[in-house]
Each structure stands twice: as structure tokens, then as C-alpha cells.
């Protein structure tokens, strides 16, 4: 298999999994926003982080986000520290419709791969994404589990999980380790 075939398959798989069965009368872009905010960590739930992740303009991202706010899918929360900053969170209405997300067929296809192949495939795609992002001057996104900023050994004396984000100088809870982060720097391959 050559490189062009791999690229075509990745592109075709992406297009096929995002374009049909839009049962909830949401556009492909609106589904992408909901998906992103369902997976983003607390540091990355901003309009500008979504715009960077989705490789779109801030204006386009802002318009899509505003339409989802009006429909009751997203809520804005002002930062306690910086009143100019906002964080977006999904409403229960959004969480409810995400169970019918057309993207889930792609998730099921990935889940059908043997477990040992999933790690290799994830690493390969992460490398491809990093290469394309670097060539285009874009940010890469990823999860704490493979990020250079992840600190901590996992457990303290009381058997409580202890992790921290070295970039944000903030503690992390175990559930946050698999969320998408705006400050990601590829460091460790996934197991």
C-alpha cells in the first residue's frame, strides 16, 4: 500500500463518517462543535481552541457556537480569574443527542480493531496529524496520556491518583487524561 492510498482512505473515512444521517437537524459543523466540547478538557473549552482544532476561522466557529447556544446545546461560563474569558459546556440536551451522533459508526469501526492494533494505529495517525499540522503551521491536539506536559506518577501514599499539567500548572483528575487538549505537545507514544 502506498502513501497516497493511505491518505485517500483516511480522507474518505472522515467524509463518510461525518456527512450522513444528520437526524437531529444539525449541520456537520454543529455536530463537530458538540463532539469537540464533549471531548475537550477544561483548558480547551473555548471558541478559539475549537476554531484551531477544527481548522476554521474564529468568526466561523463563533457563529456555529452561537447557533448552538440559541438552540440550548451549549452554555457559556465566565472565568472566575479573567472575566473576559469564557468556557463553553454542553447542556443535558446536547449530551442527550450525542448518543445519536452519526460519527459513532466510525467509533464502532475503530473499536472493532484488535486492541494491539488500536495503539499502533493511534500512534500512526497522531504522527500523520502532527506532520500535516507542522507543515501548515497549525496546532496539534491530543490527550494528556501522550503529552510532554503530563506530570505525576499516578498514585500518592493514600492510593489517590495524582497527575498535573505542567503547562497550566494545574492538577488533573484521572478522567481528564483522555480529554482533548489545546496545549498538547506530543511526547510519549500511546500504549
According to DSSP, residue 25 is labeled S
**pTM metric for this prediction:** 0.79
Instruction: Return the SS3 of 31.
Output: helix
By the 8 A CB rule, do 41 and 78 touch? no
DSSP states of 47-113 as a string? HHHHHHHTT--HHHHHHHHHHHHHTTSEEEEE-SS-TT-EEEEE-HHHHHHGGG-TTHHHHHHHHTS
At residue 160, φ and ψ (nearest 5 deg) are -90, 140
By the 8 A CB rule, do 179 and 39 touch? yes
Element housing 125 (H / E): helix 115-136
Residues in contact with 75: Cβ distance below 8 Å, sequence separation at least 6, in sequence order:
69, 88, 89, 90, 91
Domain boundaries, given as residue ranges, for the chain: 3-104, 113-181
Domain 3-104 class in CATH: mainly alpha
Tens of pLDDT along the chain (191 residues) come to: 788 888 888 888 877 776 555 556 888 889 999 999 999 998 899 999 999 998 889 999 999 999 999 999 999 998 777 767 889 999 999 999 998 887 888 888 889 999 989 888 888 888 888 888 889 888 788 888 888 899 886 655 555 668 889 998 888 888 888 898 888 887 765 54
Amino acid at each position: 500500500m502506498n502513501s497516497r492510498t493511505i491518505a485517500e482512505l483516511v480522507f474518505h473515512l472522515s467524509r463518510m463518517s461525518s456527512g450522513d444521517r444528520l437526524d437531529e437537524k444539525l449541520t456537520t459543523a454543529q455536530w463537530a462543535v458538540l463532539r469537540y466540547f464533549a471531548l475537550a478538557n477544561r483548558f480547551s473549552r473555548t471558541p478559539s481552541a475549537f476554531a484551531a482544532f477544527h481548522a476554521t476561522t474564529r468568526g466561523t466557529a463563533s457563529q456555529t457556537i452561537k447557533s448552538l447556544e440559541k438552540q440550548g446545546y451549549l452554555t457559556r461560563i465566565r472565568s472566575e480569574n479573567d472575566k473576559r474569558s469564557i468556557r463553553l459546556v454542553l447542556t443535558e440536551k446536547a449530551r442527550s443527542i450525542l448518543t445519536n451522533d452519526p460519527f459513532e459508526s466510525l467509533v464502532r469501526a475503530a473499536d472493532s480493531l484488535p486492541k494491539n492494533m488500536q495503539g499502533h494505529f493511534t500512534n500512526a495517525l497522531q504522527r500523520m496529524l502532527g506532520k500535516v499540522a507542522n507543515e501548515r503551521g497549525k496546532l496539534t491536539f491530543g490527550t494528556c496520556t501522550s503529552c510532554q506536559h503530563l506530570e505525576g506518577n499516578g498514585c500518592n501514599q493514600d492510593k489517590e491518583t495524582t497527575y498535573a499539567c505542567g503547562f497550566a500548572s494545574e492538577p488533573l483528575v484521572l478522567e481528564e487524561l483522555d480529554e482533548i487538549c489545546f496545549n498538547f505537545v506530543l511526547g510519549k507514544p500511546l500504549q
